[in-house]
């Protein structure tokens, strides 16, 4: 793949592009979804794609593809070049500020995380049994439990970044994730408890977290919330879960700070 990418970059540079880069990803995932004692999904899927940027004169061209064949790689670079060239001829481009690429050190790295237990070496039967045991543990926690959902995922991803400055970086990482969602009911009151664990790593992480413990925590949370008092109305000080504070800030300001939204006047941060 490295030689094919370098050839594609050389092609656009030979056609007067000032700069080019590509971000490529390919990976696969196993999904097991058990809801209300029915396995709704047991699947294995492959996902891949790439995004290419080409700077032609003073305009960026961008193209993407989910085909990673050599011919598609060349075509995607060529499409990005054509888009950049077409935009460079527009009247608005003549009024734009000059684009200058910052100097950056050339990097050639290959990072590969090797798990203690590769999820691929664990049979689908064992993963299914683990999910069912977690489900049963949540169900047995209380007669007030009315609905249970256990979701398990594992996967592997290879990411490649390359640019016309000579950098070529590869990162290969496995990942695992499990989520338990439990609904409890008392009278007319419904409450939900959720717990999730996940990591960039191998199956050993899930085993260490103990899936049945995760499911029972979700069930216990749902049951305890049934007797929770409603909070008072009005403006009050808020104590945020430190695991969620970053998420709140991201949703409130992160998306608003995205350049395209600001430039098009769609952000609360316009003109700030």
- Using pLDDT thresholds of 50, 70 and 90, give the confidence band for residue 239: confident
- Name the maximum alpha-carbon separation found in the chain: 73
pLDDT surpasses 90 at 232: no
pLDDT single digits (tens) 121-152: 999 999 999 999 999 999 999 999 999 999 99
Q: Considering the chain, what is the average pLDDT of its residues? A: 93
Q: Which two tokens stand for residue 161?
A: 């970044």
Q: Which two tokens stand for residue 138?
A: 């949540």
Structural domains in the chain? Answer: 2-230 (3.30.2290.10), 237-272 (no CATH)
pLDDT single digits (tens) 207-217: 999 999 999 99
Cα separation of the two ends of the chain: 44
Quote the CA–CA distance of 206 and 119 in Å, as a whole number.
10
User: If DSSP codes are grouped into helix, strand and coil, which group holds residue 88?
Assistant: helix
- Using pLDDT thresholds of 50, 70 and 90, give the confidence band for residue 269: confident
| Range 51-57 average pLDDT | 96
- Give the residue among 206, 33, 179 at the shortest CA–CA distance from 119: 206
pTM of the model: 0.76
Q: Which two tokens stand for residue 45?
A: 């899927």
């Amino acid at each position: 793949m490295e030689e094919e990418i370098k050839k594609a970059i050389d092609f656009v540079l030979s056609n007067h592009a000032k700069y080019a880069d590509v971000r490529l990803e390919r990976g696969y995932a196993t999904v097991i979804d058990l809801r209300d004692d029915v396995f709704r999904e047991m699947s294995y899927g492959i996902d891949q794609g790439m995004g290419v940027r080409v700077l032609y004169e003073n305009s960026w061209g961008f193209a993407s593809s989910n085909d990673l064949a050599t011919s598609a790689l060349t075509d995607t670079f060529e499409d990005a070049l054509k888009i950049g060239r077409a935009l460079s001829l527009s009247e608005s481009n003549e009024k734009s500020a000059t684009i200058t690429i910052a100097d950056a050190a050339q990097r050639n790295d290959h990072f590969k995380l090797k798990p203690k237990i590769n999820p691929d070496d664990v049979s689908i039967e064992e993963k299914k049994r683990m999910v069912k045991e977690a489900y049963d543990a949540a169900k047995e926690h209380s007669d007030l439990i009315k609905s249970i959902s256990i979701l398990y995922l594992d996967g592997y991803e290879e990411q490649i970044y390359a640019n016309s400055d000579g950098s070529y970086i590869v990162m290969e990482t496995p990942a695992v994730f499990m989520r338990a969602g439990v609904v409890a009911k008392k009278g007319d009151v419904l409450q939900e408890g959720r717990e999730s664990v996940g990591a960039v790593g191998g199956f050993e992480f899930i085993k260490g977290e103990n899936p049945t413990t995760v499911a029972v925590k979700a069930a216990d949370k749902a049951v305890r919330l049934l007797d929770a008092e409603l909070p008072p109305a009005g403006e009050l000080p808020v104590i945020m879960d430190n695991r969620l504070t970053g998420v709140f800030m991201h949703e409130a300001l992160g998306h608003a700070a995205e350049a395209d939204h600001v430039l098009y006047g769609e952000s609360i941060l316009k003109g700030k």
